[in-house]
Chains A and B, each alone.
Chain A
């Protein structure tokens, strides 16, 4: 494997860039140094990556957490530092997906993150992240399947600067004729609260057929970071606006409005959601303008046992979905630690 020699040495973070020194030399260098020190003196915060623009909204809404049927996850943390865990997931009885078994493995230390999933059909999903310094990360994501045409590779590099973030991404790049999808994004803090940016998508289906589109992004974070508003404008006439607010320590609310005003299709979807973080449970509720009401409860009955119930009613289509899930986490205790904790003679080694 090509990446194995890389992993054998643990990268130590590089020293931070040397402070700007007043070099009396070329006027260009002087000008650059003056510009850099002026920029530092503004004290603008890093706006966060473009990918995480709507992170808080996505964590509050239950669109990404919704499931139906029965689900069981058995996860085993085998080591804490470096982090190493394996997961067995079973799912059945879903209206949309076939019953499945999934095995996952995850390894992470200070600079490397590796994750892999294989399902019962032999399809592999993988992620590999390599952190070079605290603010520079290269990521790879792939999906490998027995069937041709279902393979996906995505290479990405994230750089978080002092008051800006840059991300470049390539999806299915072909070394032969450079076809693929290429993305580049830039987000810059303009004031202490406001960040503006853009994202360019360059598609090359064939070397002759290329297409570029640019979308514009804005993010406003309140000074006490209790509310965040974002807006995304895409040239095809798609506007997405989100708002997230932390009402109290335990309650988050989020709203999302998506407007599509393309010549062929005019549509608007509004979603309103709330999340309650209680001591041993998390409750999410959501209502949207397509007539869907959904709720999800995650209840932790014991430190290693989580029970999840999800439900959704579509009032316009007159349909409903119910999901029940259990998650069991095995602790990463060795027999010695277990013995010390339980004060009883060890049972069989395993």
Chain B
């Protein structure tokens, strides 16, 4: 069994990972899709529902 200190550290790391994933997941998909798609779409098309 890990010690209390290690446990604290793991919980903190999981919490940090969760926050990072929460804020970066959708920007990350858009970045990957934007850079990899062919032909590259225009940025306004990406965000606006009407364009």
Contacts and interface: CB of A to CB of B under 8 A. Distances in A.
Contacts of A5: none
Contacts of A115: 29
Contacts of B2: 176
Contacts, number: 78
Contacts of B26: 103, 105, 116-118, 124
A320 interface: no
A79 B32 contact: no
Given A82-B36, A84-B36, A176-B10, A124 B22 contact: yes
A248 to B, nearest CB: 39
Interface of chain B, main secondary structure: helix
B30 A144 contact: no
Contact of B21 (A7, A88, A142, A350): A142
Interface string B7-51: 100110010011011101110111011101111011011100101
Interface string A96-133: 00000001011101000011111000001010000000
Contact of A144 (B18, B36, B41): B18
Interface of chain A, main secondary structure: strand
A105 B30 contact: yes
The interface size bin for chain A is 20 to 34
A79 B46 CA distance: 11
A114 B30 contact: no
A105 B21 contact: no
Interface in A1-17: 1-2, 4, 7
Interface string A325-350: 00000001010000000000000011
Contact of A78 (B22, B28, B37): B37
B34 to A, nearest CB: 8
Interface of B: 2, 7, 10-11, 14, 17-18, 20-22, 24-26, 28-30, 32-34, 36-39, 41-42, 44-46, 49, 51
Interface of A: 1-2, 4, 7, 74, 76, 78-79, 81-82, 84, 86, 88, 103, 105-107, 109, 114-118, 124, 126, 142, 144, 151, 175-176, 332, 334, 349-350
